[in-house]
Amino acid sequence: MNWKLPAICVALIAGFGLAAMAVNPANGQEETLAGAGSPERTLPLSRADLQLSFAPVVRSAAPAVVNVYSRRVVADQNPFAGDPMFERFFGRQAPRQREVQSLGSGVIVDGAGLIVTNNHVVAGAQELRVVLYDRRELEAEILLADERTDLAVLRVVTDEPLPVLPFDLSGSAEVGDLVLAIGNPFGVGQTVTSGIVSALARTDVGITDYAFFIQTDAAINPGNSGGALVNMNGELLGINTAIFSRSGGSQGIGFAIPAEMVRSVVQAATQGGELVRPWLGARLQPVTSDIALSMGFDRPRGALVADVYPGGPADRARLRQGDVILSVDGAEVNNEAAVRFRFATRAIGDEAVVRVMRNGEERNLTVTAAAPPGDREGERVVLEGRNPFQGAEVVELSPAFNEANGMDPFTDGLIVTRVQRRSAAEFFGFRPGDRVLSVNQRAVSSLREIQRELARNDDAREWPVEIERRGERFARTLRL
């Protein structure tokens, strides 16, 4: 069945605007954020219980939540720029520059001045200011900005002590727990709203590459981005990031990035500023109802191993094609996104116990987290010579490059990353993102192979080529 939500969108909640995107409805499956042991919950037993206040929690947590202001200059290009007729009458028009300001929130997580916020709050900022709870204003610098998790780590310098909000890494959060959202909605100043944990492990939201959100009905509005979602112990449960909304304001469906992911990004910022995520080295797919039935499950659960990368962490742990991953370190997983989240929050070298179902039996495998092989930046080469690829910059794919660029780690071959103007590659319509599959009816998967084929046929007039663009394959014969 195709679901349609024509008027509902997910919006990032920085105060400078609402970057909206259509999404699919969430899958409705619930997972705990970590282990099993949970503190005992109680319901109000008397009128006095109902008159209890959140004030002690607010007094503890609010001082560590700050306002983040960013400024950047953007150039507006005239839509007629470059048109010969327009330039004949009006001359060449220089782009007009204008200043764009945005606001958001942040959370102090380290007494050394480390502040966590959302990447979309500070992206492109040329100036950053942080206003503390006591109204002190400090300049901030970006230590690490990660678009794929939509998290950024800032640093401020001050001689005075800073309040810190500790992480809740217990994994004991449950649907129905009381929470507070603290931030700076619409720039009105620090605001506290209350609600409950509405859902855990929301993965089909379409906001970040590592989607595994805490959902809450605490009111979250533009300006709350980067603010704190706090539990009743005054601990950081998550970073408020986005909302579902018809109007752009709060409608009781907000999303926060869990503290486990936040902590992993902060650790990377303090250890050199380079975020290298571990990978499993396995391609996963959903467990459908038919697959669940064939494996003797009473319901779809886990993630099916469709392929294993030779020599990768999964291969070394003897994970096999056809295994179903049920849990990671005791935390149940019900889809690929949940497995990716569990490994993305590990440090390189950490060990994780992966429970799998194989041939009707459950067993534990120990997987050692490792960085994907290859060069994250990739070796880039501009192709030259008398051929259709002249002027195209290509890079040889590897798991490391693919992971850093949000691509399938298993994809190999060559990809076009840039096309020079007035080049043969531009003339023949090659675009960044094209994957080169074959030249002259010979498969090419490395820089050496494509350079060899181009040199071998340097005097040819006809060039059969095959490329992949946005998942579709095209074969053409190009004539020079």
Q: Is 223 annotated as a binding residue?
A: yes
168-to-254, 395, 434 alpha-carbon distances in Å: 19, 41, 43
Query: Is residue 119's pLDDT more than 90?
Result: yes
Chain centroid to Cα 294, Å, comes to: 34
What predicted TM-score, i.e. pTM, was given to this entire model? 0.77
* Average pLDDT score over residue span 119-126: 89
| Catalytic-residue membership of 247 | no
Is residue 74 within 8 A of residue 125, CB to CB? The reply is no
pLDDT in tens, 209-224: 777 899 999 988 888 8
Residue 377 burial (C-beta neighbours within 10 Å; 0-12, 13-18, 19+): exposed
- Of the listed ranges 10-24, 288-302, 379-393, the one predicted with least confidence: 10-24
Q: What is the pLDDT of residue 11?
A: 54
Quote the DSSP letter at residue 49. H
Q: What is the pLDDT of residue 97?
A: 62
Considering the chain, what percentage of its residues have pLDDT values greater than 90?
58
Place of tokens 């855990």: 200
Q: What is the pLDDT of residue 248?
A: 58
Which domains occur in the chain, in start order?
Answer: 1-25+56-274 (2.40.10.120), 282-368 (2.30.42.10), 380-479 (2.30.42.10)
Alpha helix segments (H runs only) across 68-210: 84-90, 119-122
Please identify which of the residues 70, 225, 250, 327 carries the catalytic annotation. Answer: 225
* Average pLDDT score over residue span 186-209: 85
| Catalytic-residue membership of 225 | yes
pLDDT in tens, 404-459: 888 888 899 999 999 999 999 999 999 999 999 999 999 999 999 999 999 988 78
380-to-377, 383, 414, 416 alpha-carbon distances in Å: 8, 10, 10, 9
pLDDT in tens, 297-332: 889 999 999 999 999 999 999 999 999 999 999 999
Place of tokens 């902060």: 266
Residue 286 burial (C-beta neighbours within 10 Å; 0-12, 13-18, 19+): middle
pLDDT in tens, 54-110: 889 999 999 999 999 988 765 555 555 555 655 555 566 656 666 667 789 999 999
Residue type, 97: Q
Please identify which of the residues 102, 120, 146, 438 carries the catalytic annotation. Answer: 120
Q: Is 350 annotated as a binding residue?
A: no
User: Phi/psi class of residue 261: alpha, beta or left (left: φ > 0; alpha: ψ in -120 to 50)?
Assistant: alpha
Q: Is 221 annotated as a binding residue?
A: no
- Cα(414)–Cα(467) distance, rounded to whole angstroms? 10
pLDDT band at 202 (very low <50, low <70, confident <90, very high): confident
Please identify which of the residues 102, 146, 150, 398 carries the catalytic annotation. Answer: 150
Residue type, 398: S
| Catalytic-residue membership of 459 | no
Q: What is the pLDDT of residue 21?
A: 35
